[in-house]
Structure 1
Amino acid sequence: MITSPYPDETIPDVSVFDFLFADLSEDDAGRTAIVDGTSGAETIFGDLRRGIESLAGALAARAIGTGDVVALHSPNIPAFATVFHGILRSGATATTVNALYTAEEIETQLRDSGAVFLFTVGALAEPALAAAAAVGLSPERVVVLDGRDGHAGLADLLGEGHDAPVVDIDPATHVAVMPYSSGTTGYPKGVRLSHRNLVANVVQTYPLLDVESTDVVLAVLPFFHIYGMTVLLDIALKRRATLVTMPRFDLARFLELIQTHGCTYLFIAPPIAVALAKHPLVAEYDLGTVRAIFSGAAPADAGLMGAVAERVGARVRQGYGMSEASPVTHAGRPDRDDLSLGSIGVPVANTEVRLVDIETGADIDVPTEGISEPGEVWVRGPQVMLGYLGREDATRETVDEEGWLHTGDIGTVGAQGEFYIVDRLKELIKYKGYQVAPAELEALLLTHPDIVDAAVVGAPDADGQEIPKAFVVQREGAALDAATVEAFVAEHVAPHKKVRAVEFIETVPKSASGKILRKDLRG
């Protein structure tokens, strides 16, 4: 077993709201918490806390609280923080919905989570309202944050003036949030994360993600994703840093916001790292205020990370985690410039890690020199989820009886205790940091009348980043082409799930039990 080089932290036994705001000082209450990257409007911490409590009161007035699930479907805007934490403050559970989802995908999540209320925004309202109608949510149960005829807006709810309710929950067992994850395989499942899970993960990262009150953090990674939710929203709020929101990524706008607001800390995913390293536009902006860049959501190699560090002139580190771990389990040490930039770092505080040989089941230890043999990464700690919603079978497959989360990722460990992700045991595809479940796309492809079998795997693009690639067996006499297949999939899924390469084959390779042999297709 491998432990963190950092001593255990004390995890407060409190709700997320109390953890973030109970100790808000008078001075900090007047500090800027969030800047709207689109309009420039600023929200101070005191107003944010009051808005959260008013939103919780409005939900309570509608008899929504402990035991209820509320869906939040929004890009990164300041209102997200008010609504997200207002849901948690009310005692309800927040299920965050990908802002790019189609009506079909939103409906699936609303139905599976049992959501009784939905928040959305005008720009995303069409698919959201269609999904809400499909699951039987009345217009009174759908709030369009920026206003829409027939629906209340956020200003309406806050203007009602209700006090926040008294809520009695057990932080260790009460489900605070339920993002959806594909786990190691299969369809997206509701990941039940407690208040303690979320509080613990913020505290565990203190020594590694050294955000300070003087930092200005650019929030481009989506808050609806667990990475943005914990690492951006909660860590920045707890450390009293200033968040600058960005609803969607556009490189020119990204660079402009850094320059205009003097952003100091950037949390990114590998596709943004590629742009920072290679795109000529970067040279046109002053990024001199940036002191730290942290990449997660998918692995990036040392060469790419080194190129980013050199071009921007900032400290660069990587980390690792998954929704099932709230999400951070590893992060690069800020005090160790000698460790490889290709490393995902060391276990965060309060975290145990095992590297398990997938053939023998034996533990692989930290070597005295060089890099270890590969094994599956298992983690255990207070950030590990309660389980999947209504999926005890999948929970047991992912978290064993001793509390070890089997990540499905193959890693190695170096002599300094630093970890590397080298392969994937799980079938999940990571496209630009978003999860794509092959089984979901395969089931969709098989609904096409001219496709008799299909398999989907992750394949590298020109920049070495993973994309979904479909291998298709077409009906005899059919005349499909790649563009037709790609267009068919695109009609039904969010952009990150699109098939971006198609290869036609005679048969899909399968094991004797009928399992698709994806390694054979990856070549």
Structure 2
Amino acid sequence: MIAKALLRALFRLAYRVEVRGLENARAAGVPAIVVANPQSRLDTLLIAAFLPDDAVLAVDPRRAGSGWVWRILGLFDTVRLAPENPCALRTLVKAVRSGRRCVIFPQGVADRAEDLPPVYGAPALVAHAADAPVLPVRIDGAVFTPFSLFKKNWPSVRWFPKIALTVLPARRLTVDPALRGRARRQALAGVLYDVMADAALRAYDRNRSVFDALLDARSRFGYGVPILNDAERQPLTYGRLVLASVALGRALTRLSAGGEVVGVLLPNANAVAVTLFGLQAFGRVPALLNYSMGPDALVSACATARVRTVLTSRRFIALGRLERIAEALAAHTRLVYLEDVRKEVGTLDKLWGLAVSRLPGLMRGRTAKADAPAAVLFTSGSEGTPKGVVLSHANFLSNVAQIAAVVDLWPTDRVVNPLPVFHSFGLTAGLLLPLLLGVPTCFYPSPLHYRAVAELVAELKATILFATDTFLTGYARAASDGELSSLRYAVAGAEAVRENTRRLYQERFGVLILEGYGATETTPVMAVNTPTHARPDTVGRFLPGMENRLEPVQGVHEGGQLFVRGPNVMLGYYLSGQPAQLIPPPEGWHDTGDIVVVDADGYACIVGRVKRFAKLGGEMVSLAGVEAHAAKLWPDDAHAAVALPDTRKGERIVLLTSRAGAHREEFLAFTRAHGIPELMVPKTVLWVEAIPTMGSGKADYPAVKRMAENALKETGAKKPA
């Protein structure tokens, strides 16, 4: 067909259109329902030009021209999906049943659960009624053109960006046949939403290094677009970030070998991003060191990953009062200060950085393979000795793609990230996710500066905040009325979000808290509540591409021990007894160590960790459950439960709480009033000024246990003989 061939040639010339997966379109055959993500008024033309099979029925011609235009071009027959044409769906179903291929675009973007049927309902209903498979098509790049449907959210508009089309394997939509009416429409729309989310993940290029992804983001969003900022208020554009990273990275190659693990001990600031990308640009593997661990733990971590060189800053050591840590590290590694390295950055280093920042193709594809180690992080150590977690470039990019597939982030958003990048949540969600999606991000060096973080959110009119429940509570209490109201989402992880926190943000600021679940070993996000899919008292549904299975645990009557597998699951562990020897997860399955309940709709509820159950008279009692009941009884205070040996029952539960005047009898009365088994009542309730926490905000359970043991010893010593 002449019109089709001309369109194809024009698109390839103007937009360098790349088409992947055409074999899937041919395999789908007819009838089939082509569903593509809406991006621009060019979408229908792109589908017409590049998908095989001329027997295509285009829907919603308002997207690009009137029906008579399509008929003159000989590309499509058209049926208008609009309120004035209530018979359109029937017409479409008949066309598909007669053996035709139908193209339907979801009508807009789903921002809430109730948006799903209007947005995804038409293509889902047609596919279900005609018993035809859905052929998902992912369009990328057209949103940057002047023909974009989302101009207000995509300021980086240019005339001729690169466009890619990815055709995924055809899928059939199946739901419970007993569903009727609105329930069936909702279910079908939900299934199609999942199909399109999976398509977004599969279409994302994960076969590259993280630094290559940065170069691609610089090309997509522009050299001069400001993307990173910090407390010093010296913003970095994409171009300056690439320039600084390459220049510093070349200097660092003179201090380390290719593939070497290099320690990084730096605060949340632009310098840490430049250092990370500088190392990755030249095949080094940054090991993010948690300066809240203490000297002994950090020395042990360096030994576990065989870190010979640690990069830090004199100013950071002085301001953070980390002299003891610096001395301990210097005794076992070579401590290198960035202030000294910057003096060694020569003219050639700067010229090479400038060249790459202007011409990203100079280094793209030459940095590291996707399956090579990209970073080493360390588990929190909240329950024992920290392990080194080796994450690949593909792990990081997969998790970015998984999150982006279900949570909308726009270049017009603004992120505040007070979470340290030595925590996987702070690194992946707080730095890489917004950076690679074109969302300006501002670092803040400490999540504990509650008032300062609240003021920063207000000053920048931030729309996204990454934090934990503990920190969110602190920000809300420190904030003046309205200071956090610019937020679209507050994304919380690392610990359970209390109902009191959720209610506080909703009622006082009108802000939705999206609670998720993850682990360092999964880069970290496994599951998350989203605006379209949220359920109280859960951590949401598993991300696209995640497999999960539950294995029974003796003595536990609900849920099972969770194992997960997916593209974001780590390469493996470095263990203290086997330094720098990679121990991969068996067959790719990671044992989370958590007891989890997954309901019929796929929502996960964390019951507790396997290690955090007390065995009382043959029954397994969740310590996390005890803490949850304490949080409901005393919502304004912090709580931590531990199990200690007991001569009569084997173990006893001790609750530490910051609630002044807390008594066991009050807890017992609460459980009786709410029908909670008495096994959940702690044997002892101890008041403390503050619960010991890790740098991530999670309770430091080894420290909590020591505190409980010491308190009980003192109590016993004071008793009369």
C-alpha displacement at 1:219, in angstroms? 0.9
The code of the aligned residue for 2:509 comes to V
Structure 2 counterpart SS, 1:61: coil
Report what 1:311 is aligned to. 508
Are residues 1:95 and 2:287 paired? Answer: yes
- Could you tell me how far apart the structure 1 residues matched to 2:505 and 2:518 are? 22
Work out whether residues 561 and 595 of structure 2, in 8 Å CA contact, stay in contact via their aligned partners in 1. yes
Are residues 1:32 and 2:226 paired? Answer: yes
User: Structure 1 stretches of 5 or more lacking a match?
Assistant: 362-371, 429-456, 474-481, 507-523
Work out whether residues 387 and 395 of structure 1, in 8 Å CA contact, stay in contact via their aligned partners in 2. no
Report what 1:120 is aligned to. 312
The code of the aligned residue for 2:494 comes to A
Report what 2:300 is aligned to. 108
Are residues 1:342 and 2:537 paired? Answer: yes
C-alpha displacement at 1:132, in angstroms? 3.0
C-alpha displacement at 1:346, in angstroms? 0.8
Are residues 1:502 and 2:708 paired? Answer: yes
Are residues 1:409 and 2:594 paired? Answer: yes
- Could you tell me how far apart the structure 2 residues matched to 1:7 and 1:195 are? 20
Structure 2 counterpart SS, 1:87: helix
Report what 1:241 is aligned to. 439
- Could you tell me how far apart the structure 2 residues matched to 1:314 and 1:77 are? 26
The code of the aligned residue for 2:412 comes to T
Work out whether residues 183 and 324 of structure 1, in 8 Å CA contact, stay in contact via their aligned partners in 2. no
- Could you tell me how far apart the structure 2 residues matched to 1:392 and 1:135 are? 17
Identity over aligned pairs, percent: 26
Report what 1:518 is aligned to. none
Task: Evaluate the alpha carbon distance shift between residue 161 and residue 468 of structure 1 in structure 2; reply closer, same or farther with a 3 A threshold.
Answer: farther
Report what 2:210 is aligned to. 16
Report what 2:546 is aligned to. 351
Further displaced range: 22-31 or 322-331 = 22-31
Report what 2:570 is aligned to. 385
- Could you tell me how far apart the structure 2 residues matched to 1:329 and 1:254 are? 27
- Give the alignment partner of residue 198 of structure 1, picking from 386, 389, 396: 396
Are residues 1:70 and 2:262 paired? Answer: yes
Structure 1 counterpart SS, 2:214: helix
The code of the aligned residue for 1:169 comes to A
Task: Evaluate the alpha carbon distance shift between residue 276 and residue 123 of structure 1 in structure 2; reply closer, same or farther with a 3 A threshold.
Answer: closer
- Could you tell me how far apart the structure 2 residues matched to 1:244 and 1:380 are? 32
- Could you tell me how far apart the structure 1 residues matched to 2:241 and 2:517 are? 30
The code of the aligned residue for 1:42 comes to P
C-alpha displacement at 1:289, in angstroms? 1.5
Residues 116-195 of structure 1: pairs in structure 2 closer than 5 A: 116-121=308-313, 122-124=315-317, 126-137=323-334, 142-143=336-337, 145=338, 147=339, 152-153=340-341, 155-159=342-346, 161-162=348-349, 163=352, 167=366, 169-172=368-371, 174-181=372-379, 186-195=384-393
C-alpha displacement at 1:469, in angstroms? 6.0
Structure 1 counterpart SS, 2:244: helix
Per the normalisation by structure 2, the TM-score is: 0.55
Residues 333-482 of structure 1: pairs in structure 2 closer than 5 A: 333-336=530-533, 339-359=534-554, 373-390=558-575, 401-427=586-612, 460=627, 463=636, 465-467=638-640
- Could you tell me how far apart the structure 2 residues matched to 1:296 and 1:131 are? 32
Further displaced range: 196-205 or 285-294 = 285-294
Are residues 1:207 and 2:394 paired? Answer: no
Are residues 1:217 and 2:415 paired? Answer: yes
C-alpha displacement at 1:102, in angstroms? 2.6
Structure 1 counterpart SS, 2:395: helix
Report what 2:496 is aligned to. 299
C-alpha displacement at 1:183, in angstroms? 7.7
Structure (1 or 2) with the larger CA radius of gyration: 2
Structure 1 counterpart SS, 2:431: helix
Task: Evaluate the alpha carbon distance shift between residue 200 and residue 69 of structure 1 in structure 2; reply closer, same or farther with a 3 A threshold.
Answer: same
Are residues 1:51 and 2:244 paired? Answer: yes
Report what 1:441 is aligned to. none
Structure 2 counterpart SS, 1:426: helix
- Could you tell me how far apart the structure 1 residues matched to 2:436 and 2:232 are? 24
Task: Evaluate the alpha carbon distance shift between residue 45 and residue 253 of structure 1 in structure 2; reply closer, same or farther with a 3 A threshold.
Answer: same
C-alpha displacement at 1:27, in angstroms? 5.2
Work out whether residues 266 and 272 of structure 2, in 8 Å CA contact, stay in contact via their aligned partners in 1. yes
- Give the alignment partner of residue 424 of structure 2, picking from 226, 249, 252: 226
- Could you tell me how far apart the structure 1 residues matched to 2:552 and 2:225 are? 50
C-alpha displacement at 1:422, in angstroms? 1.7
C-alpha displacement at 1:126, in angstroms? 1.7
C-alpha displacement at 1:59, in angstroms? 1.5
The code of the aligned residue for 1:273 comes to L
User: Structure 2 stretches of 5 or more lacking a match?
Assistant: 1-190, 354-361, 614-622, 647-655, 657-687, 714-721
- Could you tell me how far apart the structure 2 residues matched to 1:199 and 1:61 are? 28
- Could you tell me how far apart the structure 2 residues matched to 1:300 and 1:411 are? 16
C-alpha displacement at 1:466, in angstroms? 4.9
C-alpha displacement at 1:423, in angstroms? 1.4
Structure 2 counterpart SS, 1:222: coil
C-alpha displacement at 1:224, in angstroms? 1.3
Report what 1:439 is aligned to. none
Report what 2:198 is aligned to. 7
Structure 2 counterpart SS, 1:176: strand
C-alpha displacement at 1:160, in angstroms? 5.3
- Could you tell me how far apart the structure 2 residues matched to 1:184 and 1:287 are? 30
Work out whether residues 184 and 427 of structure 1, in 8 Å CA contact, stay in contact via their aligned partners in 2. no
C-alpha displacement at 1:335, in angstroms? 1.6
Report what 2:526 is aligned to. 329
C-alpha displacement at 1:303, in angstroms? 4.5
C-alpha displacement at 1:31, in angstroms? 1.4
Task: Evaluate the alpha carbon distance shift between residue 425 and residue 300 of structure 1 in structure 2; reply closer, same or farther with a 3 A threshold.
Answer: same
The code of the aligned residue for 1:321 comes to G
- Could you tell me how far apart the structure 1 residues matched to 2:220 and 2:568 are? 31
The code of the aligned residue for 1:347 comes to F
Structure 2 counterpart SS, 1:71: strand
C-alpha displacement at 1:196, in angstroms? 1.1
Deviations 1:66-91 (A, max 9, x none): 22111111111111110011111120
- Could you tell me how far apart the structure 1 residues matched to 2:304 and 2:347 are? 31
C-alpha displacement at 1:360, in angstroms? 9.8
C-alpha displacement at 1:101, in angstroms? 3.5
C-alpha displacement at 1:413, in angstroms? 2.1
Work out whether residues 451 and 475 of structure 2, in 8 Å CA contact, stay in contact via their aligned partners in 1. no
Work out whether residues 303 and 576 of structure 2, in 8 Å CA contact, stay in contact via their aligned partners in 1. no
Per the normalisation by structure 1, the TM-score is: 0.74
- Could you tell me how far apart the structure 1 residues matched to 2:310 and 2:530 are? 40
CA RMSD, Structure 1 to Structure 2 (Å): 3.6
Structure 2 counterpart SS, 1:290: coil
Structure 2 counterpart SS, 1:205: helix
The code of the aligned residue for 1:354 comes to R
Deviations 1:351-383 (A, max 9, x none): 11123322399xxxxxxxxxx942222211011
**Relative CO higher for 1 or 2, CA cutoff 8 Å, sep ≥ 6?**
1
